[in-house]
Amino acid sequence: MTVLVAGATGLVGSAIVKEFTRIGKSVIGISSKDVNLLDRDSTFEYLNKIRPTVVIDAAAKVGGIGANNSYPVEFLSNNIQIQTNLMDASHNVKVERFVFLASSCVYPKNSTQPIKEEYLMTGPLEPTNSAYAVAKIAGIELIKSYRREFDYKWITVMPTNLYGPNDNFSLETSHVFPALIRKFVEASKFNSGVVTLWGSGKPKREFLHTSDLAKALLICLEKYDSDQPINIGSGLDLTVSDLAKKIAIATNFNGKIEWDLTKSDGTHQKVLDIQKITDLGWKPAISLDEGIESTVQWYRENY
């Protein structure tokens, strides 16, 4: 069995390649250097050459609130093209199992907490990342359509906010977790007295280490076969302010934290109901404190 992981050099893809290789799977990891998934002909040609048994789609244009809000065309158009080209090319070579990684941002802004899979498309989206969310919703529907029309055992997984090695630590385009790590590491290094962060710090978020996600995907490939997405998260949340305090401690920052209230908070709370995945025998192994420590260490060693 050959497993093709698209987006293999990114935060999620690199963790999947590492875990699947560790347990002895035959893995081919690809990035934009190997094939441009925005190019339909190139994608078809590459899949026809490799002919994998399993395709895991971890390739996407991603970013934080600022990037999503500033470049909605790219987040909508690029992601629809990437996932559609990859799914269509996989169909062309009759891939047995396709795993589409969606995102918890597809759920309505004001969902009841914790968020169950059936809450999808039951209310308005968070405006700052609605373009990205709509692209992912289109991917979810395409998976369902391929299942219905061609009887494939293709699935969608819905990860919560992820973190770990190989993240994007750019202050302009990153998500909250890596942005906080970079800000506090640099503030600690240069003895800055103040770190200014976006928003109020009051929104609550859930986080999961990518190695735990990779293990969950193995369980899903073995045990899950449904046209309904399946949530993957920790089931625990905390305020962005509390996350910032944890990262400040881990980076030895002793200064003051200030909040820029002119910046958007995004969704007030987002924590997933993970009953389906826990019923399959999976649970996260890495605590948030442990994950923060290891990710800070990785950042310091690699940046």
| Amino acid at position 161, single letter | N
Q: Which of 46, 107, 132, 146 is labelled catalytic?
A: 132
For the record, the structure tokens of 148 come out as: 């219905």
Q: Which residues contact 273 (CB under 8 A, 6 or more apart)?
A: 114, 115, 116, 117, 231, 235
DSSP summary character for residue 171: T
What are the start-end ranges of the E strands in 35-129? 54-57, 97-101
**β partners of residue 163:** 209
DSSP string for 15-42? HHHHHHHHTT-EEEEE-TTT--TT-HHH
Beta bridge partners of 196: 258
Residue 30, strand partner residues: 6
25-33 LR contacts (CB < 8 Å, sep 24+):
25/1, 26/1, 26/2, 27/2, 27/3, 28/2, 28/3, 28/4, 28/52, 29/5, 30/4, 30/5, 30/6, 31/7, 31/59, 33/9
Query: End-to-end CA distance of the chain, in Å?
Result: 36
- How far, in Å, CA of 300 to CA of 295, rounded? 9
- Is-catalytic flag, 132? yes
**Secondary structure tally for the chain: helices H, strands E:** 10, 12
Q: Which residues are catalytic?
A: 132
